[in-house]
Amino acid sequence: MAADVFCPRLGWLLPGLVMRNVHLEGKVPCVDVIDRKGEVVICAEIPGVEKRDLDVSVMDTSVTIEGTTSHEEKDDYYRSEIAKGSFSRTVVLPENVDAAKARADFKDGVLELIVPKVEVSKRHSIKLE
C-alpha cells in the first residue's frame, strides 16, 4: 500500500513511500529526471549544502546523491526545525548511461547532472556465404 508521505519537520512530499517504512536521518532531496534525446538530466534541490559536503556517484542504471548538512549550535534554541545530518538518495535512471562521461554543476542549491545515454546496438543482417 504505497502512499504519499508529507514530513512536517522537513516540509517535503515524498511520493510512493509506505507510511510504516519511512525512516529519514536528515532530508531527502527532491529530484527531476528528464529523459532527453541522447542524454538523461537529473536536477536535485539541495539547499543549505556546501559543494564540499556533497558526493555524487553514477552507475550504468542509477545515480546516488549523498551529503551532510549542519549548523553551529552556539545558542540555546527555543525551536529547531532545520534538518541537519546526513542524507542519501538513489534514483533509478530510465535508460543505461555512460557514467564515465557524466557532467555536473552545483549552483544556488541545485545540482544538475547530465549523463549521456549508451547507444543501443541495432540489429544488423548478416549475409550468409
Mapped onto helix, strand or coil, the DSSP state of residue 6 is: strand
For residue 97, the 8-state DSSP code is B
Tell me the pLDDT band of 77, cut-offs 50, 70 and 90.
confident
Domains of the chain: 25-73+82-116 (2.60.40.790)
- Reading the block at residue 98, the C-alpha cell is 555512460
Residue labelled with grid coordinates 552556539: 74
Q: DSSP labels for 26-51?
A: S----EEEEEETTEEEEEEE-TT--G
Looking at residue 19, its pLDDT comes to 38
pLDDT per residue over 17-53, tens digit each?
A: 443 333 344 578 899 999 999 999 999 999 888 999 9
Strands, DSSP E only, in 1-129?
A: 3-7, 12-17, 31-36, 39-45, 54-58, 62-69, 85-92, 103-107, 110-116
Looking at residue 9, its pLDDT comes to 47
- Reading the block at residue 113, the C-alpha cell is 547532472
Has residue 4 got a pLDDT over 90? no
φ and ψ of 86, to 5 deg: -105, 160
Q: Residues 105-114: what's their mean pLDDT?
A: 96
Has residue 13 got a pLDDT over 90? no
Instruction: Check: CB of residue 124 under 8 Å from CB of residue 107.
Output: no
Looking at residue 58, its pLDDT comes to 95
Has residue 97 got a pLDDT over 70? yes
pLDDT per residue over 63-74, tens digit each?
A: 999 998 876 767
